Amino acid sequence: MEPVESSPNWRETQYCPFCLDNDNPTPYCRLQCGHQVHESCMLIWMHHGHDRCPLCCKSSEWKMTREIMIDINEFKWRIYNVSYPSSPTQNSFRNYGWHTVRLKITPPPYVDHITRIKYVLHPAFSLSKVDLHEPPHELVIKLCSNNVPVVVQVYFVHKVTGKVDTFTMQHCIVKETSNWNYFCGNGDVSLIYNGLQSEENQVLSPNSHFKDLLTLYKRPDDYYASPLIAVAHEERENSRENQQKVPLDE
């Protein structure tokens, strides 16, 4: 990261091209090409797989409010959402529209390795949580509905310090193969995008995130207090079709 000089009035020279709101108190960032956008707007733009300026399609490097140029890819967590059609679950009332989806998580460069991934599932699923302690930490699930949220809590080791840390995201499982990006700063970089739109609700509490939906799906109040289902690598099947699957309970 290299310090970059800038005009003191650059933030007032134009509107954010995403929200067109120059009065929004959200911090701005300046892209390497010179265009300015809200930091939160840019992170959401990149969350959907875009990695260039929305106006001129140049580099994704951008300047944050503390006047430092960074490469945002250094802080990017990627979830690869792989989907393919499959047969219905046993005793399902719907015999069409089923997909098997596999989630694969790639950490940013400052992560040495992932030690554990905990998936807290939407109450529509027949399981509340799944805990994967060994590589490849990939969850394979079977679902009929689309755009179903899941809370993903990743435990990882920092490459430089060797310390264990966590990053928690809300990912929406979709019935299409796609990449989704999330961002967590490191060191002097404090930016974060964990899948939530509201800046006032950036902290995800895995066991209480879906509490308002428990009554709707006829789940007990202690639904997420039950022990996790821990799956070790040697317990999984080698075939993709036979990996740990969590069918929707509809």
How does pLDDT run across 63-82, given as a tens digit for each residue?
Answer: 554 456 677 788 899 999 99
This prediction's pTM: 0.78
Q: What is the mean pLDDT of residues 200-221?
A: 81
Question: Confidence band (pLDDT; 50, 70, 90) for 4?
Answer: very low
Q: Starting from the edge strand earliest in sequence, which strands make up the sheet with 68-70, in order?
A: 2-3, 68-70, 62-63, 28-31, 36-38
Query: What pLDDT score was predicted for residue 113?
Result: 95
How does pLDDT run across 73-132, given as a tens digit for each residue?
Answer: 888 999 999 999 988 766 666 777 889 999 999 999 999 999 999 999 999 888 889 999
Query: What pLDDT score was predicted for residue 227?
Result: 63
Query: What pLDDT score was predicted for residue 114?
Result: 96
Distance (Å, rounded) from C-alpha 24 to C-alpha 10?
Answer: 15
Question: Confidence band (pLDDT; 50, 70, 90) for 49?
Answer: confident
Contact 152, 168 (CB under 8 A): yes
Query: What pLDDT score was predicted for residue 28?
Result: 78
% of the chain residues with pLDDT over 90: 31
Between the alpha carbon of residue 240 and those of residues 42, 53, 125, 138, 237, the distances in Å are 35, 37, 20, 10, 8
Query: What pLDDT score was predicted for residue 118?
Result: 93
How does pLDDT run across 129-146, given as a tens digit for each residue?
Answer: 999 998 889 999 888 888
Distance (Å, rounded) from C-alpha 228 to C-alpha 246?
Answer: 13
